[in-house]
Structure 1
Amino acid sequence: MRIIGLTLAITAISGSSLSTAAFALDLYVDTRTEQIYAKPGPGRVHLGSFVKEDAAKAAEKSAADTTAATGDNASPKTADIAAGKTNTADLTAVRKEIESKSKIMGERLASDIASLEERVKETENVHIQFTDSAPHFASKDGNFTFAINGRMQAGSQYNFINDVLPATGSNLPNELNSGATLRRARLGVEGTFFKLWDYKFEYDFSRGNGSVASGITDAYTRLNVTKPFSIKVGSFKEPFSLEEAASNRYLTFIERHMSVNSFVDNPNTYKTGIGVNYAVPRFQFGVAFQTEPIGSWSAASTSVNAAGNVNRNNGSGDSSWEGIGRITGRPWMEDETRFLHVGISAGHTAVNTQYNAAGQIATTPSAQGGGGGGMAFFAFPGTNVDRTNMLNTGNLSVGNKGEPGSRRIDSYDRFGAEGWLVHGPFSVQGEYLRTNINGLGYDDEHFTGYYGFASYFLTGESKAYHVKNGAANRIKPRQNFQWNGSGWGAWEVAAGYDYINLNSGIIRGGQADMVRFALNWYPHPNIKIQNNIIHVLNVDTAGSAIPRTAGFHNADLSAFLTQAQVEF
C-alpha cells in the first residue's frame, strides 16, 4: 500500500515535467485484500479517475480550479497531490481515504451477496418440495399450500383349504376364488389457504365396481379455528371405531376385522355432512352429523337412481341421516412409544325405505340392501381378492307396505369400545362393537362382534400414533432397506382372533370366528409388503334364506394373502 501511495505521489509531483497535457489515472481496490491497483482485475472495484494538469495551465486558473478529479470519488487532497502541492501528511490522508472507501465498498458487496443468497432461498421455497415422498408446493408467505397424495395396493389370494357346500339349482359355485387384484388405486390433492383453511379431495379408481360417484372418498373443506379445534364440511369418514379411524395404509392386517367391516366400512364410512374435531396428544373428540354416501355402491345408499345419492331425484325420498361421535384418550403415556389408548364410539342412523304407489319398495334392492331403501349387514372372511359375503342378513326392509309379516328397518344404533396398548416394539389392540336394529317387526334384534390381536417388531420399531385421528400412523423403519445389506427395513409379526354374530331374533345372518397371522415388511416408510394367513374356525349360517350364505354353513376355509403397497 505504501509503495503504491508513494508511486502515486511521485507521479503527481513529477508529471508536470513530462507533458503539458492533462492525463487521468484510474484506481481499483481489491475487495478482499484492500490493495490498490492501477489496472482492473477479478474482485477489483473501480474507485475513480484522478486527473493532473501541467503547471502552466494551473497558473492560469484559480487555486480552486487548479486541479479536478473527473471521478465521483476524487477529493481536495487528491487534487492537491495532482497539482504538485503535496507533503507526507497529504499522502497519508489520501491513502487513508482510499482505504476507507475500499472497506466501505467491500462491506457493501458482502451485504449485496448476503441479500442475493436470501432472495435465492426465498425463491426456492416456492418451488416443489418432497414431504413424505410426496410433491408439495407452497407460496413464499406460507398462505397457500398444495400437495398430491396417492396409494396403490396390489393384492393376491390363494385358497389352500376351500371346503364349502355344493351349489344348488342354477346358483354359481360357493367356493372362494384365488387370483390377484388392484385392491385400491387412489389419487388425491390436499392443501391449505390463508393458513386457516385446508381441503382434501381423493378419488379411488378401483372402488364401487367402477361407479364414478362411488370412487369419491374424502372431499371436504376444513376450518382450523385453533390448532386442536376444527370444523369440516363435505364427504369424510365417520368418527367411529379405532380400526376404521386408521387409514387402510397403516393396518396391521390386509383387511379390517369382520365386525368393523360389517358395521362401519361396508355401509361406506365416507358420508356427506358436517363434523367437529378436537385433538391434542392425549385426548381426541369428534362428532358429526352426516347423511348418505355419494355413490350407489353401499348398503347405506337408498336413492332409486343408478348414480346413488348424487341426488334424490325421481321419488327417492329423504336422505338417511345420522348423528355419530367418538371420544378417545391416552390416560397412560410415557412417550410416543409407550402408551395406553382407550375410547368409545356411538351413533344413531335413521334409514329411508321408499315405497311406490302400490306399497312396494321403490326398486328391487340387492341382497346387500340399498337401491331404493332398507339396509343390510354382511361380512366376508378377511380375504382381499374374493370378498364374497360369507354372512349376510339380507335387506332388513322386507315385503310390501302394510302386508302381514312385512318388516322395515327405520334406524340402527351402534356402540363401540376400544383399547390399544403400545410398549416399545410390542402392542395389543382390540375392540367390541354392537349394532341394535329398530323398526317395524323388530324387537331388540342386535348384532355383536369383537377382535383382538398382538404385534411385535423384530427390528425394534414401535407402532406410531396419529394425534388428529387417534389411531395408527405410518411406520418409519430405524434403517431403510439397502441392497448392500446395511439396512433391512422394519419387520413385524402379528396374530389375532376375530368374531362376529349376525344372528338375532328373526334375523339369520349367520355367525363366524377366525384367526389371522401376519408377517409385514416395511423396507421404507412409503412401502409395505404384507403376508397374511387366515383360517376360519367356525361358520354357522343355518336358517339363512340366501343360498350363497347358506352354502358356507360349516365351511372349512384357509387362504394365503399378499399385498404390496406404495403410498405417499
Structure 2
Amino acid sequence: MRIFKQALALSLVLSAGVVSDVMALELYVDTNTKQIFAEPGPGRVLLGTFVKSEDVPAKTETPKVRSAPSQTSAESPSKTESAELTPSRKDQTTEVADKAANENLADKVSVLEERVKEAEKVHMEFDDRGLHFKTKDGNFSFAVNGRIQPAAQYNFINDPNPAFGHSTPNELNSGANIRRARLGVEGTFFKIWDYKFEFDFSRGNGTVASGITDAFVRLNHTDALSYKIGSFKEPFSLEEAASNRFLTFIERHMAVNSFVDNPNTYKTGIGVNYAVPRWQTGIAFQTEPVGGWSSASTSVNANGNQSRNNGSGDTGWTAIGRITGRPWMEDETKFLHVGISAGHTDVNTQYRADGTMVGEGSGGGGGGMSFTAFPGTNVDRTNILNTGNLSNGALTDPNRRQISSFDRYGAESWLVYGPFSAQAEFLRTNINGVGYDNEHLTGYYGFVSYFLTGESKAYHVRNGAANRIKPKKPFNWNGSGFGAWEVAAGYDYIDMNSGVIRGGRASMFRFGLNWYPHSNVKFQNNIVYLLDIDTSGAPTTDTQGYSGGAGARTRGWDNGDFAAFLSQITVDF
C-alpha cells in the first residue's frame, strides 16, 4: 500500500495536463546521498516502478458568444464586483493545489527516508581489518578475521656433532610448512562490550591441543580503560605484545620465545588495561593455558587444564604486568618508546604416594617447568638449548630439585625516526625452589630497520607495540606503485647456564628483507647465522630432568655451526 501511494504521489508531481505518452520507469535511491537515479548501481536500492507522463496542449474550440441585452446601470456594480472576485478565487485554488502537491511530495520523501533507514540498519564493509558487519545504532558488530603464513627453511650450514647410540640425528631439517593458520571472529555488543575468539589450526607443532589463542570478553569502561576475562596474552615484553603479523623478523628473538612464547603466552584469567596515545599499562592474573599438554604448553599436567582430576594437582598461576610510555614524541612517525615488565609464576609439581614425580622421564605430564630455545627457524623449530625439567627426582632423593615458582623481568626500548627504527629488550628469569640458589636465565636482543620507500613503523596504542604497515604506494602491475620495502639487521643472545642449570648458551646474527605489496600481504626473507653455541654442561642421558633424548640432542650442538635462509608469506584479513 505504501509503495502504491508513493508511486501515485510521484506521478502527480511529474505529470500535468493530459497524458499522451506513458512510459514505465524504475527508480533507485542511493542509501548514502539520498539521491534518486534511473539506473541501478553500487549502494542503490530499488524504490519502485513509476509512470512518467508528458504534457501535451489540450485541444480547444473558440466558444460561440451570443449577444446579450444591455444591462441596466443597477446591475453593473454587481457584475463588476463578481469580476473582481474571480481572480481571488483562482489564487485560492492555486494555493490549495500547491499545498496538496507539497503534502504529497512530503509524504513521498517520508516514505523514501523510511526505505533508506531500512536499508541502513546493517552496514557491511571490508577493509584491512577484515569483513565487518555493524548495526546502524552501533550496538552490535561482527567481524571475521584470519591469517595464513606459508613458510620455508633451507639450512646451508648444518654442522652439529654426530649423534650416537639410539639418538636421532642432531641436524635440523630443511623444508616447508604452514607456520600459522588462524581463523577467528570478533565484535561488540551494546557498544561497551567486545569479544574475540581465535583458533590456530597449526598450533602446537602439528597438534591442535593448544589451538585456542584468544577467547575473551572485554568490558570497555571508557575509551582508555578496559577489563577482560578469558584466554589472552600475558602483558609482558614489547616483541610479544606485537602480533606475529607485524614482526620485523619471521620469528621472535630467542629470549622472548624461551621465557614468554614457548610456555604458551595465551593463558586463562582476568586482566585490566589502560591505554592512551602517550602511555599504556596492563596487568593480569592468569592460570594455565587452554588445552592439554603439548610443546606449546610445557608447564601443565598431561590431562590439561580442561580435564583436571585428583591426580592433576592445583593449577599454576601468574600475576604479571607491563608499563610502557612514549616520553618523547613529535608525531606518530617520530617517537621513543620505553617500558618495563614483571611477573611472578607459581608452578605445580605433582608427586605420587610413594614420592616419585608424576611424568618424570616422559614428555611432560607431571608439572614442573622447562625452558628451551631454537635458533630463530620457522619450519624445523627443534630446541638446541634445553634446561630439562627443573623439577626432577623423588621426594626422598636428597639431590632432588623442585621449581616452585619463577620471576620474570623485562626492559624494552624502541626508537622510531621516520623510516628508521631501532628496538632492543633485556629479559631475565629467576628460578625459585628446592635445590636452587639464585639461578637465573637471561637474554637480550637489538636490531635496526630502515624503509627504503619512506614508510615508518606504526604504533598500536592499546598494545603498546608495533602495528600494521600501510605502503605509501601499494603494488600495482602498471608500475604506479611498488609497495613498501624494509631492510633489517640484528643481534640475538641467550644464556641458560646458571648454577646447577645447564641449558646452554647461544648468540646469532639476523638479517631481513621485507616486502609489503599491500597492507594485508607481507613477504619476508631472513638469514640466521649462529655465532657461538655452548651446551657442554647438558647430560648425554635422560637424567637431571631431561627426557626423550633432549639432553643428548642439546649436548650434540656444543660448538656446532648453523646458518639458514628462511622465507615466509603472511596474508591476513
- Alignment TM-score, normalising by the size of structure 1: 0.84
Distance in structure 2 (CA, Å) of the matches to 1:537 and 1:301 = 28
Distance in structure 2 (CA, Å) of the matches to 1:269 and 1:520 = 26
Q: Verify: 1:352 aligned to 2:352, yes or no.
A: no
2:526 corresponds in structure 1 to: 532
Are residues 194 and 157 of structure 1, via their aligned partners in 2, closer, same or farther at CA, if it must alter by over 3 Å?
Answer: same
Deviation at 1:135, TM superposition (A): 1.3
1:518 corresponds in structure 2 to: 512
1:488 corresponds in structure 2 to: 482
- Aligned pairs for 1:156-555 (under 5 A) are 156-295=152-291, 296-298=293-295, 301-306=298-303, 308-364=304-360, 366=362, 370-545=364-539, 546-555=551-560
Are residues 365 and 337 of structure 1, via their aligned partners in 2, closer, same or farther at CA, if it must alter by over 3 Å?
Answer: farther
2:149 maps to which of 125, 147, 153: 153
Q: Verify: 1:105 aligned to 2:101, yes or no.
A: yes
Distance in structure 1 (CA, Å) of the matches to 2:11 and 2:212 = 68
The amino acid across from 1:560 in the alignment is F
Deviation at 1:457, TM superposition (A): 0.5
- Counterpart contact for 1:156–1:179, Cα < 8 Å: yes
Deviation string, structure 1 residues 113-134 (Cα, Å, up to 9, x no partner): 4752564265245043213251
Q: CA RMSD in A?
A: 2.3
Distance in structure 2 (CA, Å) of the matches to 1:537 and 1:107 = 85
Are residues 29 and 386 of structure 1, via their aligned partners in 2, closer, same or farther at CA, if it must alter by over 3 Å?
Answer: closer
1:37 maps to which of 11, 14, 17: 17
- Counterpart contact for 1:464–1:473, Cα < 8 Å: yes
The amino acid across from 1:532 in the alignment is N
Distance in structure 1 (CA, Å) of the matches to 2:134 and 2:326 = 34
The amino acid across from 1:555 in the alignment is G
Are residues 92 and 122 of structure 1, via their aligned partners in 2, closer, same or farther at CA, if it must alter by over 3 Å?
Answer: same
Q: Verify: 1:561 aligned to 2:566, yes or no.
A: yes
SS of aligned partner of 1:168? coil
Are residues 494 and 301 of structure 1, via their aligned partners in 2, closer, same or farther at CA, if it must alter by over 3 Å?
Answer: closer
Deviation at 1:98, TM superposition (A): 2.8
Distance in structure 2 (CA, Å) of the matches to 1:270 and 1:101 = 72
Deviation at 1:94, TM superposition (A): 2.3
The amino acid across from 1:331 in the alignment is P
The amino acid across from 1:566 in the alignment is V
Deviation at 1:140, TM superposition (A): 2.7
Are residues 232 and 45 of structure 1, via their aligned partners in 2, closer, same or farther at CA, if it must alter by over 3 Å?
Answer: farther
The amino acid across from 1:135 in the alignment is L
Are residues 117 and 562 of structure 1, via their aligned partners in 2, closer, same or farther at CA, if it must alter by over 3 Å?
Answer: farther
- Counterpart contact for 1:293–1:301, Cα < 8 Å: no
Distance in structure 2 (CA, Å) of the matches to 1:127 and 1:435 = 49
- Counterpart contact for 1:305–1:313, Cα < 8 Å: no
Deviation string, structure 1 residues 332-388 (Cα, Å, up to 9, x no partner): 111111110000000000100000111111123656xx4221100010000000101
Distance in structure 1 (CA, Å) of the matches to 2:516 and 2:111 = 44
Distance in structure 2 (CA, Å) of the matches to 1:102 and 1:547 = 97
Are residues 322 and 269 of structure 1, via their aligned partners in 2, closer, same or farther at CA, if it must alter by over 3 Å?
Answer: same
Deviation string, structure 1 residues 79-134 (Cα, Å, up to 9, x no partner): xxxxxx97475256325633652365247426634752564265245043213251
Deviation at 1:555, TM superposition (A): 1.2
1:61 corresponds in structure 2 to: none
Deviation string, structure 1 residues 189-208 (Cα, Å, up to 9, x no partner): 00111111111100000011
Distance in structure 1 (CA, Å) of the matches to 2:103 and 2:446 = 69
Deviation string, structure 1 residues 4-48 (Cα, Å, up to 9, x no partner): xxxxxxxxxxxxxxxxxxxxxxxx99636xx841347655699xx
Are residues 389 and 491 of structure 1, via their aligned partners in 2, closer, same or farther at CA, if it must alter by over 3 Å?
Answer: same
SS of aligned partner of 1:252? coil
The alignment-based identity, stated in percent, is 66
SS of aligned partner of 2:405? strand
Distance in structure 2 (CA, Å) of the matches to 1:554 and 1:297 = 29
SS of aligned partner of 2:259? helix
Are residues 122 and 451 of structure 1, via their aligned partners in 2, closer, same or farther at CA, if it must alter by over 3 Å?
Answer: farther
SS of aligned partner of 2:210? helix
Deviation at 1:247, TM superposition (A): 0.4
SS of aligned partner of 1:207? coil
Are residues 113 and 440 of structure 1, via their aligned partners in 2, closer, same or farther at CA, if it must alter by over 3 Å?
Answer: same
Any gaps of 5 or more consecutive residues in structure 2? 1-9, 23-50, 56-80, 540-550
- Counterpart contact for 1:303–1:312, Cα < 8 Å: no
SS of aligned partner of 1:267? coil
Any gaps of 5 or more consecutive residues in structure 1? 1-27, 47-84
SS of aligned partner of 2:97? helix
Q: Verify: 1:129 aligned to 2:125, yes or no.
A: yes
The amino acid across from 2:284 in the alignment is A
Are residues 486 and 382 of structure 1, via their aligned partners in 2, closer, same or farther at CA, if it must alter by over 3 Å?
Answer: same
The amino acid across from 1:297 in the alignment is S
Distance in structure 2 (CA, Å) of the matches to 1:366 and 1:144 = 48
- Counterpart contact for 1:355–1:362, Cα < 8 Å: yes
Deviation at 1:211, TM superposition (A): 3.8
The amino acid across from 2:260 in the alignment is V
SS of aligned partner of 1:559? strand
The amino acid across from 1:184 in the alignment is R
- Counterpart contact for 1:278–1:284, Cα < 8 Å: yes
2:25 corresponds in structure 1 to: none
- Counterpart contact for 2:204–2:296, Cα < 8 Å: no
Deviation string, structure 1 residues 444-496 (Cα, Å, up to 9, x no partner): 00011000000000111100000000000000011111011101111100000
The amino acid across from 2:403 in the alignment is I
Q: Which has the larger radius of gyration?
A: 1
Distance in structure 2 (CA, Å) of the matches to 1:388 and 1:321 = 27
2:38 corresponds in structure 1 to: none
Distance in structure 2 (CA, Å) of the matches to 1:411 and 1:134 = 41
- Counterpart contact for 1:304–1:314, Cα < 8 Å: no
Are residues 345 and 462 of structure 1, via their aligned partners in 2, closer, same or farther at CA, if it must alter by over 3 Å?
Answer: same
SS of aligned partner of 1:128? strand
- Counterpart contact for 1:286–1:326, Cα < 8 Å: yes
Are residues 86 and 549 of structure 1, via their aligned partners in 2, closer, same or farther at CA, if it must alter by over 3 Å?
Answer: farther
The amino acid across from 2:193 in the alignment is W
- Counterpart contact for 2:263–2:299, Cα < 8 Å: no
